[in-house]
């Protein structure tokens, strides 16, 4: 089995935590590093949270690098109301055993990608794109060297979640997103059109709670927190099968099972000038208008299949 080499850049974050558990528990992935960026909470907390989750998963073999503490140009903006002040919902923070690896996340991305065969290393970006943008600025050859860049971000048909027209990761650092997309890297965006189809229903959370492993417990607790936030802040339609969207596992799930998603070729541009529509992703599917279609946009996601992957990744391991 050829394992997909992967770097996960994230801002844990309750749904980042679920994505990390999926990655930590998937032997098909060769997880080279986790890089932390400021986003949901400041980078000191997102890096600590990544180290906490790594320890819970027993994956101290995966280095964690700290990255950008602020966007390229704008003031840092958090999302603590959706992730808790410490970033991992109700989980009580602890000082993890292992520290961050030496060096900035952007330099780690450059070194890991440039040191391996062309297009062999995928990057999953689950927070603002600042670290990747900094890496691409420092080493422009990176764009041609990268494998797929699977990004949780973007708003189109579903509208936005931080504003009427923008999704948080792109809104938090629109300049970074615009720069990354302009490099021509193989960007695949899992925006709200897809991630809003992936909801943590009661049955799906209960299945994780029944697994009885530290990884499953951590993932379930994050979703329980999001359930309460969804009811309080977003609202809850009277549907039996409803729950909070779990955004960040989607890029990782795609790398494991691309058949769980429907993607459409497109060209994506990011609004960076208007404050009203800052961070909006203009997704153009028409080649006659776009000229070429270098990006891909996820239009559908198989939630049942994605949760089956998560459950498989956090299940009890048979001791041999």
35 lies in the binding site for ligand RIB (CB under 6 A): no
307 lies in the binding site for ligand RIB (CB under 6 A): no
How crowded is residue 75: how many other Cβ atoms within 10 Å of its Cβ? 7
Pairing of strands 261-270, 295-301: antiparallel
Nearby residues of 82 by Cβ (< 8 Å), 6 or more positions away = 14, 40, 226, 229, 233
Q: Of residues 54, 74, 247, 278, which one binds ligand RIB by CB under 6 A?
A: 247
Q: Of residues 18, 36, 38, 40, which one binds ligand RIB by CB under 6 A?
A: 40
Name the residues annotated as catalytic: 247
Give least dist CB 316 to ligand RIB, A. Answer: 27
Q: Name which of residues 58 to 87 contact ligand RIB (CB under 6 A).
A: 79
Residue 255 contact partner, candidates ligand RIB, Ca ion, none, CB within 5 to 8 A by sort of partner: none
Q: Which of 118, 119, 113 is nearest to 35 (CA)?
A: 113
Q: Of residues 65, 168, 254, 261, which one binds ligand RIB by CB under 6 A?
A: 168
Q: Which token pair is 166?
A: 């923008």
- List the x/- string, 71-110, binding to Ca ion by CB under 5 A: ----------------------------------------
Question: Are 242 and 203 within 8 A, CB to CB?
Answer: no
Scanning 88-96, 129-137, 246-254, 266-274 for contacts with Ca ion by CB under 5 A, the matching segment is 246-254
Q: Of residues 126, 142, 185, 198, which one binds Ca ion by CB under 5 A?
A: 126
Question: Are 313 and 218 within 8 A, CB to CB?
Answer: no
d(CA 207, CA 220): 9
Q: Name which of residues 3 to 32 contact Ca ion (CB under 5 A).
A: 11, 13, 16
Beta strand ranges found along the chain (DSSP E) = 4-10, 29-36, 64-66, 121-125, 149-152, 187-190, 261-270, 281-284, 295-301
Task: Name the site residues for ligand RIB (rule: CB under 6 A).
Answer: 11, 13, 15-16, 39-40, 79, 126-127, 152, 161, 167-169, 247-248
**Residues near Ca ion, by CB under 5 A:** 11, 13, 16, 126-127, 248
């Amino acid at each position: 089995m050829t394992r997909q080499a992967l770097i996960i850049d994230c801002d844990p974050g309750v749904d980042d935590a679920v994505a990390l558990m999926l990655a930590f528990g998937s032997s098909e992935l060769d997880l080279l590093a986790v890089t932390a960026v400021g986003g949901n909470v400041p980078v000191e907390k997102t890096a600590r949270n990544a180290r906490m989750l790594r320890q819970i998963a027993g994956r101290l073999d995966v280095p964690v690098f700290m990255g950008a503490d602020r966007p390229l140009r704008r003031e840092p903006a958090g999302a603590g109301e959706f992730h808790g002040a410490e970033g991992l919902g109700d989980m009580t923070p602890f000082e993890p055993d292992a520290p961050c690896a030496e060096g900035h996340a952007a330099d780690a991305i450059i070194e890991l990608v440039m040191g391996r065969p062309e297009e062999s290393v995928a990057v999953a970006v689950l927070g603002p794109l600042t670290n990747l943008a900094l890496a691409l600025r420092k080493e422009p050859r990176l764009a041609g060297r990268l494998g797929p860049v699977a990004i949780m971000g973007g708003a189109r048909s579903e509208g936005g979640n931080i504003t009427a027209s923008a999704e948080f990761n792109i809104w938090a650092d629109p300049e970074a997103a615009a720069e990354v997309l302009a490099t021509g890297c193989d960007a695949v965006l899992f925006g709200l059109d897809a991630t809003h189809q992936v909801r943590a229903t009661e049955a799906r959370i209960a299945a994780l709670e029944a697994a009885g492993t530290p990884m499953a417990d951590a993932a379930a607790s994050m979703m329980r927190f999001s359930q309460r936030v969804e009811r309080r802040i977003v609202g809850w339609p009277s549907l039996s099968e409803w729950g909070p969207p779990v955004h960040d596992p989607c890029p990782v799930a795609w790398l494991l099972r691309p058949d769980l998603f429907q993607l459409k070729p497109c060209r994506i541009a990011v609004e960076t000038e208007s404050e009203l529509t800052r961070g909006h992703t203009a997704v153009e599917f028409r080649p006659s208008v776009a000229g070429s279609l270098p990006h891909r946009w996820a239009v559908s996601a198989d939630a049942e299949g994605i949760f089956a992957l998560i459950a498989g990744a956090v299940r009890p391991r048979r001791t041999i």
